[in-house]
């Protein structure tokens, strides 16, 4: 029984081998005799059939090997083709085919060299955009976690190579759909890593380069989130927080329904609270170091800029403790506001309110005290008028007679 089974298995294996060979011959034999058609200007145009022994026929055979997932053999045959036809017009196609063969073998990093050669040496060829598309797919594979081979094992991270590829695609095809995809893919990669500084810069560049993109709303929202994440606390730089507030207002103006859904108003209130707390920390620092003027200035700024925050109430209590006004008069040149002050509004100048006080009967205004003309009474200086007033007030020394 065992012998029969062996014979049966051997016969079955042989038949299967023959069947595979027949199928391969059936597929390959008429391959070069079949006519190919390509779509040109909305019509199918018949392409010429190549001789199997010609360079064009050899490239067609290599493509067929790639389609059959025989990447190793396809790669070796592509090497021979490139070595034998180093000045052929289809050289760019041959490098592209060899890169595809390496992808079939899962040697992704090696395939980048062939695609890069096509992009650099044949920028005006039809294979230029195809090679960039291949590089973009490999970059997405690398940032997705696929690693490079080392000693037959995938142990080397390739995210750095992916970043470089995505940047080059944007430089080589600005304004294109592929460049837009590369830009937003790189920004999302930084955001998910997370590298918020790089993500904010990448999203900002995307909005500048592609202002009418369908992904604009997504990029704006991610940019706001990245800027919010950059703020580390009231004792650190608040540039990201300020930029996030400005972007939120723009987002609310351009996408009011989405802004209402995510609660932009509440986010703006939280940003004001954080900025007010940062000013309070700085004001406390000045107060501890015996710098009351700087502390008062910052406390008043908190009250005026963020009146609806809890920090504003704390600032009012600190101003009362320091004996300073909560808010200077509105008509005063010293009132803190976001408007630029005149260059002559200095502390040694009298405020305008003091000059507008009405005069009393006992003290006439200075313009009315001046004589109408210099002929009736000579002009006197304050030093000359002072002794005359003293003599008029105390005339006793003049009326008392002298003793003999």
The pLDDT of residue 13: 45
Classify domain 50-168 by CATH architecture.
Answer: Alpha Horseshoe (1.25)
Mean pLDDT, rounded, of the chain? 75
Query: Considering only 151-165, 179-193, 283-297, which range has the smallest mean pLDDT?
Result: 151-165
For residue 278, pLDDT beyond 80: yes
Domain ranges of the chain: 50-168, 280-338
For residue 99, pLDDT beyond 80: yes
> For residues 107 and 22, which has the higher predicted lDDT (pLDDT)?
107
The pLDDT of residue 250: 92
pTM of the model: 0.65
H, E, C per residue of the chain: CHHHHHHHHHHHHHHHHHHHHHHHHHHHHHHCCCCEEEEECCEEEEECCCCCCCHHHHHHHHHHHHHCCCHHHHHHHHHHHHHHCCCCCCHHHHHHHHHHHHHHCCCHHHHHHHHHHHHHHCCCCCHHHHHHHHHHHHHHHHHCCCCEEECCEEEECCHHHHHHHHHHHHHHCCCCHHHHHHHHHHHHHHHHCCCHHHHHHHHHHHHHHCCCCCCHHHHHHHHHHHHHHHCCCCCCCCHHHHHHHHHHHHHHHHCHHHHHHHCHHHHHHHHHHHHHHHHHHHHHHHHHCCCHHHHHHHHHHHHHHCCCCHHHHHHHHHHHHHCCCCCCCCCCCCCCCCCCCCCCCCCCCCCHHHHCCCCECCECCHHHHCCCCCCCCCCCCHHHHHHHHHHHHCCHHHHCCCCC
pLDDT tens for residues 329-367?
A: 555 444 544 444 333 333 333 333 333 333 333 344 444
pLDDT tens for residues 362-383?
A: 344 444 444 444 343 444 433 4
> For residues 359 and 48, which has the higher predicted lDDT (pLDDT)?
48
The pLDDT of residue 400: 45
The pLDDT of residue 130: 92
pLDDT tens for residues 206-228?
A: 999 999 999 999 999 999 999 99
């Amino acid at each position: 029984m065992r012998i029969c089974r062996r014979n049966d298995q051997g016969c079955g294996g042989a038949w299967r081998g023959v069947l595979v060979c027949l199928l391969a011959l059936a597929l390959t034999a008429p391959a070069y005799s079949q006519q190919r058609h390509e779509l040109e200007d909305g019509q199918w145009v018949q392409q010429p059939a190549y001789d199997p022994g010609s360079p064009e026929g050899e490239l067609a055979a290599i493509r067929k090997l790639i389609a059959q997932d025989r990447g190793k053999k396809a790669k070796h045959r592509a090497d021979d083709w490139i070595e034998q036809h180093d000045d052929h017009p289809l050289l760019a196609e041959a490098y592209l085919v060899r890169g595809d063969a390496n992808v079939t073998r899962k040697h992704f990093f090696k395939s980048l060299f062939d695609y890069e050669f096509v992009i650099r040496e044949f920028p005006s060829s039809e294979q230029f955009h195809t090679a960039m598309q291949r590089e973009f797919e490999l970059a997405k594979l690398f940032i997705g976690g696929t690693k490079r081979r080392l000693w037959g094992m995938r142990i080397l991270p390739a995210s750095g190579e992916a970043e470089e590829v995505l940047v080059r695609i944007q430089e080589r095809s600005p304004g294109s759909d592929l460049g837009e995809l590369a830009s937003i893919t790189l920004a999302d990669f930084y955001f998910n890593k997370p590298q918020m500084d790089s993500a904010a810069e990448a999203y900002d560049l995307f909005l500048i380069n592609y202002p009418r993109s369908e992904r604009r709303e997504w990029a704006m929202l991610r940019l706001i989130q990245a800027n919010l994440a950059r703020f580390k606390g009231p004792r650190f730089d608040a540039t990201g927080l300020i930029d996030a507030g400005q972007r939120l207002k723009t987002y609310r103006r351009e996408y009011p329904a989405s802004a209402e859904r995510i609660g932009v108003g509440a986010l703006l209130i939280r940003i004001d609270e954080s900025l007010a707390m940062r000013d309070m920390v700085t004001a406390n620092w000045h107060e501890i170091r015996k710098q009351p003027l700087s502390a008062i200035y910052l406390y008043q700024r908190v009250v005026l800029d963020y009146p609806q925050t809890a920090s504003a109430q704390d600032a009012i209590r600190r101003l009362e403790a320091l004996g300073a006004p909560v808010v200077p008069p509105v008509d005063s040149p010293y009132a803190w506001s976001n408007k630029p002050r005149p260059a002559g509004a200095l502390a040694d100048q009298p405020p305008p309110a003091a000059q507008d006080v009405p005069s009393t009967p006992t003290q006439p205004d200075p313009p009315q005290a001046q004589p109408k003309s210099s002929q009736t009474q000579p002009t006197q200086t304050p030093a000359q008028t002072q002794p005359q007033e003293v003599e008029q007030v105390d005339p006793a020394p003049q009326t008392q007679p002298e003793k003999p």
